[in-house]
Amino acid sequence: SFDNGSFGAGISHTLDQAIGVNLEGALTPAWSHRLSLGTAREDIDTPAFASAYRSTREQLGWTNDFTLSDAQHLIAGLDFNHDRGQSIDSSGFGAPYAASRNNSGVFGGWRATQGAVDGEVSARYDHNSSFGNALSGSGAFGYRISDALRFIASYGTAFRAPTLNELHSPGYGGYFAGNPGLDAERSRTAELGLDWTVDAANRLGARAFSTRVHDLIDFSGGSKFQAINIAHAAIDGVELTHVWQAAAWTWTNALTAQNPRNDDTGAQLLRRPKQKFSSLLETALSEAVSVGAELAWSGKRYDIGGKTLDSYTLVNLRASYAINSSWHLGLRVENVFDKDYALVQGYNTPGRSAYVTVSFEPHF
C-alpha cells in the first residue's frame, strides 16, 4: 500500500516565462492572415530530491483565412514547434537526461452556412521527429430548428505525443518517473447537443459527449507510479450550460457529469472527477475597466495507492484595465479563501495567490 507520509516533494520553485509576437492583417479584401512567433520556458527545482527540470519551446505559426463568399470561409496554415528538455538529478534515483525534438504540422478547414444549416470540416497532418506522422480531423453540423432552438453534432480525432518529461524524467526520488517506451495518444470524440435561447437574457445548452482514447498517458505504473500507456480509456458524459446577459453583466454556469474510466478494467481514471461545476460573473465598469469573480467546484477523485482526493471549491477574482488601445494591465487573485486542496497525492497546491500581467499589442 502507499503510505501518505512516506512521500512528499517538499517545496518546489517554479519559473514560467512566455514571450510571443503576432502580426496579423488583411492581405487582400478576401484574405487575412496571422503570423505568430513565441518562446516558452519552464524551470522546476525540487531541493528535497536534489532534482531540477528545464524545458523550452520555440513556436512558429501561420494561419490564413480566405473569404470565399458571405457564407463560406476557408482556413489553412502551418506550424512548427521545437522542444528541448533537461533534467538534473543528483539523488542517485534516476539518470539525468537532455533531449530535443521537432513537430511540424499543416492544417486546413472549411466552414459554410446555408439557410438553417451550418457546418465545418477540418484536417491536420503532423510530423513528429520522435513519433512519425499522424493525421487527424473533425467535422461539425448545426441545424436551426427554430429561432430559439439549434441542434449540433460533431466528431473528431486527435493525436498527442508524450512530452519530453513524460518520456525521460527521473521523477522525484524515483517516483513519477518518465518512460521512454511510451506510445503517442490517439483519441476520437463524438458530441450531440442543443442550444436554446430562452429569452433576450438567457441561453441554455446541453451536450452529450463520448471520448475513446487509445494509449492514454497516465502516471500510475508500478510501485512508484511511472508513466504508462492505458490501452483503452473512455470518458462519457453530459454538460449543461446557462448564460445570462443583461446590460454590462454576463453570468456563465457549466455543470459536467462524466464517467472517466479505464475501459479494460472499469476503474475510474486517476485524478479525474465524475462531477464538476463552474460559475463566472463578469461586468464592465467602464470602457477601460472590467472585473469578474469565479467559483469552481470539483468532485472527489481517486489517486495512486487507493487514496481519495476530496472535493474542493475555489473562488478566484480578476480585473483588467485598458491603459490605451495597445497597453493592458491585468490582476488575478486565485484561491481567494486560501483553501487547502490536492490535485495529486503528495503534492501541495498554491494557497492564495496574486498575479499581475502587462500586455502590449501594437496597432499599425
* pLDDT 10s digits, 186-241: 999 999 999 999 999 999 999 999 999 999 998 876 667 788 999 999 999 999 99
Q: In this structure, which amino acid lies at residue 342?
A: A
d(CA 326, CA 113): 34
**235 three-class SS:** strand
d(CA 108, CA 65): 10
Q: How confident is the model at residue 89 (pLDDT cuts 50, 70, 90)?
A: low
CA-CA-CA-CA dihedral for 195, 196, 197, 201, to nearest 10:
-90
DSSP state, 268? B
**337 three-class SS:** coil
Q: Count CA within 13 A, CB hemisphere, residue 67.
A: 10
Q: How confident is the model at residue 294 (pLDDT cuts 50, 70, 90)?
A: very high
> What separation in angstroms does the CA of 243 have from each of 40, 51, 193, 279?
34, 46, 16, 10
d(CA 71, CA 119): 11
Task: Flag whether pLDDT at 1 surpasses 50.
Answer: no
Determine how β-strand 226-246 pairs with β-strand 249-262.
antiparallel
- CB distance 280 to 297 below 8 Å: no
pLDDT at 333: 98
DSSP state, 48? G
Of the candidates 264, 269, 274, the one whose C-alpha atom is nearest the C-alpha of residue 303 is 269
CA-CA-CA-CA dihedral for 265, 271, 272, 278, to nearest 10:
170
What is the set of domains in the chain, with CATH numbers?
A: 10-269 (2.40.170.20)
Element (H, E) at 167: helix 164-168
> What separation in angstroms does the CA of 30 have from each of 25, 66, 329?
11, 6, 34
d(CA 16, CA 53): 12
**12 three-class SS:** coil
**135 three-class SS:** strand
This prediction's pTM: 0.87
d(CA 246, CA 283): 10
Grid cell at residue 272? 479525474
Q: How confident is the model at residue 91 (pLDDT cuts 50, 70, 90)?
A: low
d(CA 136, CA 329): 38
pLDDT at 149: 98
